[in-house]
Amino acid sequence: MPSTIFTQPPASIAELQNLADLSRRGESDAPHLSTKALALLEALLATPETAGLSSISRLGERHGVNPSSLTRLARALGFSGFKAFQALFREDLTTNAFYSTRAERLLDFGETPQSPPATSQDHVLWQQEMANLSVAVANLDSDMLEQVVKAIVAARRLHVVGLRASFGAAHYLAYYLDYLRENVQLISPLAGVGLEQALHLDENDLVIGIAFRPETRLSLDYCRLAVEQGADLVALTNHPGSQLAALTDRCLMAPAEGPFFFNPMSSLFLLVELVLSRVARELGSQAVASIRQREALIARLDIE
């Protein structure tokens, strides 16, 4: 599959599509791809979710080419290799097709990790979740976690935002932070709390944003607006290249790999628990007093 190497790789799927169009017309400023290479590129562009989520061997099998052809195509387009090329497709994944594509990969493409005959697929899922937890702990930046904790303790007001699949973790985190300190608010459109709440924030406040890819636009919009107002931002996400992570230098990563139709969340809840534990230790006797006050109120009102 001979081609002329293009030294400047595209930075988006839109740019890649434009390069394909230019190459098809034989423009001088486009990579000169062979007929087969161009056909392969156009086939990948036609199914971007599959291109972003499938392994190189599965993609080769799907398109009837040797995996090395995909590597050569990537390099001809200016990428260092197939992984860098595929990352472009992964960045472009949207909420509309993310989960259905993952389901297709697991069912139609047969990409569920293989396990010994005596091991059930349930056990495989458990093993991957244990791996996610292990990676989360092994890669945990203790200095970053300490910065996050100090920011939570120091903030005048604290907003927690995480919608759709991330709402459970956001609610859990906000609920127990409210046990530990004052002025904690869970941002939820269901409760009539929308973007306008960020307008009241300033440099004395902190927003904790939680978003797994595919990221919810409203969560991102809230975090962007909060940053524009001067508030500090802490991000909890599953991908270092996420839009949420790009908004702040304070980011905690929760790996979410595995043969599951949706986003595995165990590592996210582990990070939430680590943050809560560290905040409680940082506040010390103040945290204990706050918890006792809450428990006394619950008992007096017979809430539980």
Q: Is 259 or 113 the better-scoring residue by pLDDT? A: 259
H or E stretch covering 60: helix 56-63
Domains and CATH numbers, the chain: 13-107 (1.10.10.10), 131-301 (3.40.50.10490)
CA 24 to chain centre: 35
- Give mean pLDDT, residues 176-195: 81
Share of the chain above pLDDT 90, in %: 28
CB 267 within 8 A of CB 133: yes
Q: Does the structure show a pLDDT above 90 at 71?
A: yes
CA angle 164, 168, 174 (to 5 degrees): 115
Q: Please give the share of the chain, as a percent, with pLDDT higher than 70.
A: 80
Task: Give residue-wise pLDDT tens across range 120-131.
Answer: 556 666 677 777
pTM above 0.85, yes or no: no
